Amino acid sequence: MRILFKNGTLVTATESYVADLMVSDGRITAIGTNLSIGTNLVIGTNLSAGCTDNADVTLVDCSGKMLLPGAIDVHTHLEMPFGGTVSADSYLSGTRAAACGGVTTVFDYPMQRKGHGLVETVKSRQALCAPQACVDYAFHCIITDLNGGALLDEFAEAVDYGITSFKCFLVYKKEGMMVDDATLIKVMLKAKETGAITNLHAENPDVIDMNVERFLKEGKTSAWYHYLSRPEFVEAEADKRAVHWAKSVEAPLYLVHMADKEGLETAIAAKLAGHDIYVETCPQYLEFTSDVYKREDGRNFVCSPPIKGQESQDALWAAIRNGTIDTVATDHCPFQSYEKDWGRDDFTKIPNGCAGVENLYPYMLSAANAGRISFSRAVALCATNPAKIFGCTQKGSLAIGKDADIVVYDPTKDFTISVTNMHSDYDHTIWEGKSLHGYPVQTWLRGRLVYDNGEFVGEPGYGQYIRRTSRK
Ligand code: URP
Ligand code: ZN
Ligand code: ZN
């Protein structure tokens, strides 16, 4: 099966140019001008629209469109038990939504628990995911307990299995997910030794607990106090501590969902000094400020770390523009309205997390279309850098030999996000009413069309497990 994408503007992490792109058996096999595929196919620039089938070749007229590598959302929590419930998107609905937003690979976060192994944990989630997956998938593994140290001996096996990143939380104490600094350092060192990297959610748990206790005593229970219990300096302290440990033990570190200026600046300074440190942020931190927690529906925006103030948002955008933020991912972890409502009168009862997997690429590309960043920067942040950092050698760019994970993007198409035009299972979205200029019109996964003009046309189970390569 061959596909010829004709006359599109190809966007890579470094440049944009008009070309044709040929796909054979799910891989990109040629890029050039005036590619032809045999005498019996008429190639024209004015073919009406969409795809024209001819023998074994599908022609996609991309005049006026852009061709981008499929995005890689390296931070999702699908059907994750959390916050007294389970996140609202299953592996099916979450990956279906991903496909419809131009995301062709998701990285989910299985959670290891005391007494359980790494590969065991991942395999049990993989078994759940495989028949449902509408896009390709990889796993980072969350570590909550070292099983008396025995878990460290499993790192090499996990890396061999393609799990080349492990995540620790410095928060979620009462949920039994938090690790102490000694555990974090052990994980960092073992990850480094085995060619893996440590991902980290950094906030200071003791200060959060102290603030929460005080606010509840004082009857301060609205969503605004979620933010005030974990403001900028609470994240900054833990970011700085994490960077300090990573520098001290010379181990790679990937800071997930960074939202605050002070911590960001510390991480960037360490990175620029040559340390192996990477920074991720999320669209919700780029779009909203902490003011959303003053709204009547503030609970719907409750995630951790909370969305910060304008100064932090400005710092995030500056780092997006100058390339010192490495990735934008979603932390997709939606909950239904009735679950968010549990915390109407007590912010501590709100399940933490928001939706975003379908909005990531359209949002960043719309920012590019508005001239806020270049299209190449959007591609770098959402596809090329995630692939490089996390060892997805087949993914992340439009280049010969890579998987044909391709998004056809119409820079003229206007789109307003609503829960009614999303493809997830949740019943509300923080992105409701957001207008975007430019929108993906097709998503191709390994040479197969999975999203076409508003419709999911893929198949659950077509998504494949991505066995990643180690950093060694
Ligand atoms: O609020 C969030 N972010 N929920 C998902 C779990 C996490 O901390 O990443
Ligand atoms: Zn987190
Ligand atoms: Zn997360």
User: How do residues 407-442 score in pLDDT, each as one tens digit?
Assistant: 999 999 999 999 999 999 999 999 999 999 999 999
Residue identifier of the C-alpha nearest atom 7 of ligand 1? 304
Q: Residue 44 above 80 pLDDT?
A: no
- In a domain, residue 128? The reply is yes
Q: Does residue 423 lie within any of the structural domains?
A: no
The CB density around residue 42, as the number of other CB atoms within 10 Å, is: 10
Q: How far apart are CA 164 and CA 253, in angstroms?
A: 12
Q: Who contacts 400 (Cβ-Cβ below 8 Å, separation ≥6)?
A: 28, 29, 30, 31
Residues with CB under 5 A from ligand 2 (ion): 201
For residues 249 and 157, state if they share a domain.
Answer: yes
* Ligand 1 pocket, residue 303 CB under 6 Å: yes
Q: What per-residue confidence (pLDDT) applies to 409?
A: 98
247 and 368 co-located in one domain: yes
Is the pLDDT at 143 greater than 70, yes or no?
Answer: yes
Written as six digits, the tokens of 270 are 């360490």
198 lines ligand 1 (CB under 6 A): no
Q: Are residues 160 and 253 in the same domain?
A: yes
Is it the case that residue 466 has pLDDT exceeding 70?
yes
Q: Whose CA is nearest to atom 4 of ligand 1?
A: 353
Ligand 1 pocket: which of 333, 350, 357, 430 to mutate (most atoms <8 Å of CB)? 333
Q: Are residues 383 and 70 in contact, defined by beta-carbon separation less than 8 angstroms?
A: yes
For residue range 243-267, list pLDDT tens digits in order: 999 999 999 999 999 999 999 999 9
| Distance from the alpha carbon of residue 331 to the mean position of ligand 3, in angstroms | 4
> Which CATH number goes with the domain that contains 442?
2.30.40.10
Least Cα distance to 412 among 445, 443, 436 occurs for 436
pLDDT of residue 43: 36
pLDDT of residue 1: 84
Check if the beta carbon of residue 244 is closer than 8 Å to that of residue 202.
Answer: no
CA of 115 to the centre of ligand 2 (A): 22
Total count of domains within the chain: 2
Q: Is 108 helix (H, G, I), strand (E, B) or coil?
A: strand
Mean pLDDT computed over every residue of the chain: 95
Q: What is the mean pLDDT of residues 292-314?
A: 98
Residue 295 carries which DSSP code?
Answer: S
Q: Is the Cβ atom of 300 under 6 angstroms away from ligand 1?
A: no
Question: Is 170 found in the same domain as 39?
Answer: no
Whether the CB-CB separation of 352 and 421 falls below 8 Å is answered with no
- Domain carrying residue 449: 2-68+401-413+433-456
83 and 28 in one domain? no
Given this model, what pLDDT does residue 11 score? 98
Q: Are strands 277-281 and 253-255 parallel, antiparallel or unpaired?
A: parallel
Any ligand 1 atom below 6 A from CB of 267:
no
Give the integer Cα–Cα distance in Å for 438 and 86. 33
Instruction: Assign residue 162 the CATH number of its domain.
Output: 3.20.20.140
Run of H or E residues at 16:
strand 16-24
Residue range 359-364: average pLDDT?
99
Distance 75 CA to ligand 1 centre (A): 10
Instruction: State both tokens at 351.
Output: 């399940």
Q: Is pLDDT above 90 for 196?
A: yes
Nearest CA to ligand 1 atom 8: 304
On whether residue 7 sits in a domain, the answer given is yes
Beta carbons within 8 Å of 427's beta carbon, 6+ residues apart: 88, 336, 337, 419
- Do 90 and 150 have their domain in common? yes
How confident is the model over 306-316, as pLDDT tens digits?
A: 999 999 999 99
What pLDDT, on the 0 to 100 scale, is given for residue 49?
36
Which of these ranges, 39-53, 289-303, 410-424, has the smallest mean pLDDT? 39-53
| One domain for residues 237 and 315 | yes
| Per-residue tokens: 185 | 């350092």
CA angle 76, 330, 10 (to 5 degrees): 110
Binding site membership of 332 for ligand 1 (Cβ less than 6 Å): no
Position 41 scores a pLDDT of 39
Nearest CA to ligand 1 atom 5: 353
- Residue 309 located in a structural domain: yes
Two tokens, residue 303: 């995630």
Alpha helix positions (H), 273-418: 283-287, 310-322, 337-340, 360-369, 375-379, 385-389
